[in-house]
Structure 1
Amino acid sequence: MISQLAILKDINVLSICVRIFLSVVISGILGFERGRKRHPAGFRTYILVCLGSTIVMMTNQYIYQTYHTGDIGRLGAQVVSGIGFLGAGTIIITGRNQVRGLTTAAGLWASACIGLSIGIGFYEGAILGGTTIFFVMTILHKMDNLMRKKSNLLHLYLEFENSLGLGSFLSLAKKNSIDVMDVQIVKNKGEEKKAMSVLLSVKSKENRPHTEVLQYLSQAEALNCIHEI
């Protein structure tokens, strides 16, 4: 068993096939989770990132073993820092100042790290690490949503017909025992100057479902739309 594992640690046809297979399988599982949620970086992107990292690390190991020179971790270090440009491409800021794509970017970076561990023959770390990443991206995502729903704190995006609408909203919130915090006025582009977009946080003093809080606040005058973000 030890001798077989040692063979897979060296660069040969068998170890190359095993490493490429593992990188496709593990990254494919991670990418599938993102792809089914219609994120820009999905199934194929994750596989390519992980596979590329695996090839880079195998190349580094091959150079080290063949020519007995160089730093075995040099190319891997470049992958870890270089993957940032791809991750940055998945992060967007919507018109409502919402940041989207952070989890996808983090997942791509983690996929690259998995590829590096497979490429150097650290199979145990790659399999356990990939399993943990998948757990974080699926199970913990559901837990995060559940905790947000149970929280009394809501982050809202609102659009008013005019500035007087914000005053009506604040009065209505106070009347319903709802505290308003972190008010930010967003500049509207290409719209009427009188219109106003606002980002703010509200906290109900009582335990209420988010839908109930939104129903109370939606009764404010001159309010065009209200969304939880």
Structure 2
Amino acid sequence: MLENIKQLSDLNLLSISFRILLAMITSGLIGMERERKQRPAGFRTYVVVCLGATLTCITNLYMSKLYPGVDPSRIPAQVVSGIGFLGAGTIIVTKNSRIKGLTTAAGLWCCATIGIAIGSGFYTGAIICSIAVIIIMRFLTFVDKSYFKYNKYVYIYVECDHKIFMRSLIDYANKKNYSLYDIDHIQQNGDSFCSMVFSLKVTDPLNKSTVVEEIRQLDGCLIIEELGH
């Protein structure tokens, strides 16, 4: 494979140029997929992260050749842990407690490791991993959708009159033989109005839209939204 080509395994102008070019191509393909979905970190962010990780690893290899006592894994190890701060910046918690950006954050972390692999000269692993990431992000979305479709748990955000709505919700769940989980609410201005997030285990997962509409009709419910789409 590519690792067995001496000109690409040694640290020279050709191998450095090839590694940087490969980092741009692989990270660019992943970034384009994120850009298409209008995610916080898109094409340029992925390319820059991967290039930075690649150059970090090349620099560390250069230092280990220049100073034989230098640990060749020391600086790349800091990239793996440090990229978490950048990834955390792409995670957003919306006003209705919905979390967005986890896949983008994970993609940035993986993109950094791909850059480290390229910078180390492990081309085959970097290429295979890049292809796998693209397949996961681009083509396996239907797996999430299928799982959500047949998942018996409905995740709901509501704004309501807490005292009235809770009584109605409990009566509704008991009547339908549903189970309530993870009820979390934020009181507004000391009165009975609040925003609430909870999950409801239903008997028929294909009946979720009906369940949401039925809850919408409960006393005290002002605004309702199903989470997880």
Residues 74-223 of structure 1 mapped to structure 2, 5 A cutoff: 74-188=74-188, 193-223=191-221
Distance 1:140 1:3 in 2: 30
- TM-score (norm. length: structure 1): 0.91
RMSD over equivalenced CA pairs, Å: 2.0
Give the 3-state SS of the residue equivalent to 2:114 in structure 1.
helix
Distance 1:103 1:187 in 2: 31
Give the 3-state SS of the residue equivalent to 1:14 in structure 2.
helix
Q: Check the 8 A contact 2:149/2:206 in 1, yes or no.
A: no
Q: Check the 8 A contact 1:179/1:202 in 2, yes or no.
A: yes
Q: Check the 8 A contact 2:157/2:197 in 1, yes or no.
A: yes
Aligned to 2:34: 34
Q: Deviations over 1:5-49 (max 9, x none)?
A: 121011111111211111111111111111221111111111100
Q: Check the 8 A contact 2:93/2:100 in 1, yes or no.
A: yes
Structure 1 stretch displaced more, 177-186 or 8-17: 177-186
User: Tell me, which stretches of 5 or more residues in structure 1 are unaligned?
Assistant: none
Distance 2:13 2:115 in 1: 18
Give the counterpart letter for 1:17 in structure 2: S
Q: Using the TM superposition, give the Cα deviation of residue 58 of structure 1 relative to its aligned residue in structure 2, in angstroms.
A: 0.8
- TM-score (norm. length: structure 2): 0.91
Structure 1 stretch displaced more, 35-44 or 67-76: 67-76
Give the counterpart letter for 1:180 in structure 2: L
User: Tell me, which stretches of 5 or more residues in structure 2 are unaligned?
Assistant: none
Q: Deviations over 1:88-142 (max 9, x none)?
A: 1112222222222221111111000000000011000100111112222223332
